[in-house]
Structure 1
């Protein structure tokens, strides 16, 4: 995912949020032959339909054509975050406290790069840096938000089957 302060994230946020959607995250990755894909994840309180993705794609495409933030050819994809929703922004970690998540760290912490557990929320460490509080492996982990390579919800399939 693109950092919160990246040009692509800020540009997508300026388009998506005034339309009434939540920007969940932005991915940009290279494919073979010099082409790339720009994937935008959106959400809405009533869920996201194909029509929603098409509408956002159309609006965002126009802004991207004018702003031209990416060199070369790229494909734009707009999608819902899915059941294993990525957690990217600080507010995601506060909002989904109590849910099971899977995190991957950019570097090992106490010999671990991957952890699964219950998200306790967002806190702050010495110096005011945000930390993700996670209950995993019988203890509480305070993981610097900046140290997370990725974080995703672990879907509760039983709850999803019986809303």
Structure 2
């Protein structure tokens, strides 16, 4: 992993730790934090889905906290959004819930010489995500996943 990737991962984790309690208190779940360049994207969800008003509310409360704590170097644009059709998969239960769906995932380090995988999620058991792609089936440890999302489109 390049130095910049590690730096970005640390910023994303710092932001997650700071804002997740506020998002939970607002009755929503923080699904993802992505920081790239001058863009910070928070993905939120709740049963029944999120509204534009939900996104605006979270943007206000989180924006105020981030202005005070200042974990992001320089200027950035804060975006708060719903997971949309290509929802990120961040928790172990997501990999059980979305079994049978097409997904894309990237590992933290190479597995069998590769970091990117695309295929049908077969499920998760004993900390291993099972993914089939054509004739191949892969078992990928949950703790080695950097990012994963549904691949509907």
TM category (shorter chain) comes to 0.7 to 0.9
Distance in 2, matches of 1:145 and 1:23, equals 19
| 1:31-77 residue CA offsets vs partner (Å, 9 max, x unmatched) | xxxxx221100112222221111011011111212222223222111
Structure 2: segments with no counterpart, 5+ residues? 1-7
Question: If the length of structure 2 is used for normalisation, what is the TM-score?
Answer: 0.80
Count residues in correspondence.
145
Please say which structure displays the higher CA radius of gyration: 1
Determine the structure 2 residue equivalent to 1:150.
147
Distance in 1, matches of 2:19 and 2:9, equals 11
Distance in 2, matches of 1:114 and 1:73, equals 31
* Secondary structure of the corresponding residue to residue 82 of structure 1: coil
Question: If the length of structure 1 is used for normalisation, what is the TM-score?
Answer: 0.75
* RMSD over aligned Cα atoms: 2.3
Alpha-carbon distance change, 72 to 114 in structure 1, aligned in 2, over 3 angstroms: closer
Distance in 2, matches of 1:104 and 1:65, equals 31
